[in-house]
């Protein structure tokens, strides 16, 4: 499918709320399925990735009903989970894959997992290696590096694991295996990654403590069901925050966005680059702060973006690269080699796409160098099946009078099915 993007109005004004957070929606379904009782999830993200998580637990016999953004999970707890009779389709979802492997490794049955073409190319050894150290019986292509993967669940040993890469999915997968294993499992990381697993497991009654960058979970303590209100996804909000910053005459307010400090790097980057942004923190639900963010058109300045902030902006780098192409000066992004393992190699896909649109941008091993003040032009572009590249292209098209062709816009439904509705609401 090709979408022709040519917007006659180029400024964005108004107030929207973005759909629920993808990471939190996944975890709410997973932990609700592991807990005995009824879990009500509100403002659930009904994007394709989170629907893959629902489908996975339905395949294991959990009763899950959804009415738009409200999901009810009714589970008999871990003992009630049944061996899936068919292979589990993870679609495009890395989070479902890595977290589910932690759970399935410790359950007393066999399961098989597969995904779409993109997920089939993404590395799974980052999670199968620590799980095998815990005693998990996992096999897959290249000794469990790639999907399809088969798991024969078994009794595991606790582990003290130092994650070699900055990955919340790896941390969470090991913690979930630890949740289902006698004894104390410890996961340590050099740079803190998103901590929704820790916050929500505590809300479900797990015996979990956080000491700096070390998380300790005492396993085999049953979870108790707990209602979850999902905050708006700051990674989805980021597209409109940047769009407002770089289109003249814009002012956009996004309400009820999750402001967990492990996710708010985009706010720090916008401030660092001189964008007019205000925040109003309103309340905290299940350990997750929620508030409103307002951005006005600005004249952004280039910045060097590196170090501990990278995991806090890992999903926002494509749209930050577009912002940098409009800033004064040269922006350098470093320490972001994890981009190579996303839905696409996002160093390659961002560079190829922004170049096609007329930006001056160079890839590096672990990031990119972006010259500012680019005059973007029309082009034939491709999302390469990556939702965040698709949305970056749509926002870039606001900066040119020419038509931008976007091949494969469908993938945007992975995380933001109502993206074009919200864009149209804000266009003035």
Q: Which residues of this chain interact with ligand S3P, rule CB under 6 A?
A: 23, 95, 167-169, 172, 193-194, 314-315, 338
Output 339 or 394, the one with its CB closest to ligand S3P: 339
Nearest-approach distance from CB 169 to ligand S3P, in angstroms? 4
Output 105 or 163, the one with its CB closest to ligand S3P: 163
Nearest-approach distance from CB 388 to ligand S3P, in angstroms? 9
Output 108 or 307, the one with its CB closest to ligand S3P: 307
Nearest-approach distance from CB 78 to ligand S3P, in angstroms? 21
| Length, in residues, of the chain | 428
Nearest-approach distance from CB 277 to ligand S3P, in angstroms? 23
Output 229 or 292, the one with its CB closest to ligand S3P: 229
Output 134 or 168, the one with its CB closest to ligand S3P: 168
214 belongs to an annotated ligand binding site: no
**Tokens at 240, concatenated:** 């409109």
Output 367 or 378, the one with its CB closest to ligand S3P: 367
11 belongs to an annotated ligand binding site: no
Cα(350)–Cα(270) distance, rounded to whole angstroms?
Answer: 19
98 belongs to an annotated ligand binding site: no
**Tokens at 343, concatenated:** 């839905």
Nearest-approach distance from CB 196 to ligand S3P, in angstroms? 7
Contact 6, 405 (CB under 8 A): no
27 belongs to an annotated ligand binding site: yes
Nearest-approach distance from CB 164 to ligand S3P, in angstroms? 12
Active-site residue, selected from the candidate residues 315, 386, 408, 409: 315
Give kind and range of the element (H or E) at residue 111.
strand 110-114
Whether 315 sits among the annotated catalytic residues: the reply is yes
Angle of CA points 397, 267, 126, to nearest 5°: 90
Contact 2, 406 (CB under 8 A): yes
Category of 373 on φ-ψ map: left (φ > 0), alpha (ψ -120 to 50) or beta: left
355 belongs to an annotated ligand binding site: no
Contact 85, 110 (CB under 8 A): no
Pseudo-torsion of CA 162, 167, 173, 179, nearest 10°? 60
325 belongs to an annotated ligand binding site: no
Residues forming a β-bridge with 229? 42
In sequence order, the 6+-apart residues with CB closer than 8 A to the CB of 339 are 314, 317, 345, 346, 347, 350, 367
Contact 78, 51 (CB under 8 A): no
225 belongs to an annotated ligand binding site: no
Cα(38)–Cα(226) distance, rounded to whole angstroms?
Answer: 8
CA neighbours closer than 13 Å in the CB half-sphere of residue 387: 21
115 belongs to an annotated ligand binding site: no
Residue with tokens 């300790």: 216
φ, ψ of residue 122 to 5 degrees: the values are -85, 145
Nearest-approach distance from CB 178 to ligand S3P, in angstroms? 16
- What are the b/e assignments for 291-310, b being 16+ CB within 10 Å? bbbbbebbebebbebeeebb
| Largest CA-CA distance found in the chain, in angstroms, rounded | 61
Helix axes 317-325, 234-246, angle to 10 degrees: 10
Judge if the upstream peptide bond of residue 155 is cis by omega within 30 degrees of 0. no
Output 172 or 225, the one with its CB closest to ligand S3P: 172
The CB-nearest residue to ligand S3P is 23
Contact 32, 104 (CB under 8 A): no
263 belongs to an annotated ligand binding site: no
Which parts are annotated binding residues? 22-23, 27, 94, 122, 167, 169, 315, 342, 346, 388
Residues at the annotated binding site for phosphoenolpyruvate?
22, 94, 122, 169, 346, 388
Binding residues for 3-phosphoshikimate: 22-23, 27, 167, 169, 315, 342
- Provide the annotated active-site residues: 315
């Amino acid at each position: 499918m090709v979408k022709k993007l040519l917007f006659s109005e180029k400024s964005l004004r108004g107030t929207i709320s973005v759909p629920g957070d993808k990471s939190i929606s996944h975890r709410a379904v997973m932990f609700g399925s592991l807990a005995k009782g009824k879990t009500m999830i509100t403002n659930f993200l009904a994007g394709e990735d989170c629907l893959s998580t629902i489908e996975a637990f339905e395949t294991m016999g959990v009763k899950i009903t959804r009415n738009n953004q409200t999901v009810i999970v009714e589970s008999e707890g871990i003992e009630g989970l049944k061996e899936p009779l068919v292979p589990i389709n993870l679609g495009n979802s890395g989070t479902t894959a890595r977290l589910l492997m932690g759970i399935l490794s410790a359950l007393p049955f066999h399961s098989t997992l597969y995904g779409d073409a993109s997920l089939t190319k993404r590395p799974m050894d980052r999670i199968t290696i620590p799980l095998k150290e815990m005693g998990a019986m996992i096999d897959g292509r290249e000794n469990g590096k790639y999907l399809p993967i088969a798991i024969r669940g078994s009794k595991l040993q606790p582990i003290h694991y130092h994650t070699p890469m900055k990955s919340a999915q790896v941390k969470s997968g090991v913690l979930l295996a630890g949740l289902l294993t006698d004894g104390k499992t410890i996961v340590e990381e050099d740079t803190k990654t998103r901590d929704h697993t820790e916050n929500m497991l505590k809300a479900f009654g797990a015996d979990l403590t956080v000491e700096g960058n070390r998380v300790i979970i005492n396993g085999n303590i049953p979870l108790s069901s707990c209602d979850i209100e999902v905050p708006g996804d700051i990674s989805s909000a980021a597209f409109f925050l940047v769009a407002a910053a770089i289109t003249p005459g814009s002012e956009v307010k996004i309400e009820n966005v999750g402001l967990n400090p492990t996710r708010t790097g985009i706010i720090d980057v916008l401030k660092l680059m001189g964008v007019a942004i205000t925040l109003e923190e309103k309340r905290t639900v299940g350990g997750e702060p929620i508030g409103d963010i307002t951005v006005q058109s600005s004249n952004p300045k280039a910045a060097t973006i590196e170090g501990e902030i990278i995991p806090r902006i890992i999903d926002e780098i494509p749209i930050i690269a577009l912002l940098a192409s409009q800033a004064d000066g040269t922006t350098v992004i470093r320490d972001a080699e994890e981009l190579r393992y996303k839905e696409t190699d996002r160093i390659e896909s961002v560079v190829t796409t922004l170049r096609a649109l007329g930006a001056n941008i160079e890839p590096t091993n672990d990031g990119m160098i972006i010259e500012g003040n680019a005059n973007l032009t029309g082009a034939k572009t491709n999302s390469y099946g990556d939702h965040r590249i698709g949305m970056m292209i749509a926002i870039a098209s606001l900066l040119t009078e020419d038509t931008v062709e976007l091949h494969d816009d469908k993938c945007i439904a992975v995380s933001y099915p109502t993206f074009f509705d919200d864009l149209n609401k804000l266009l003035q």
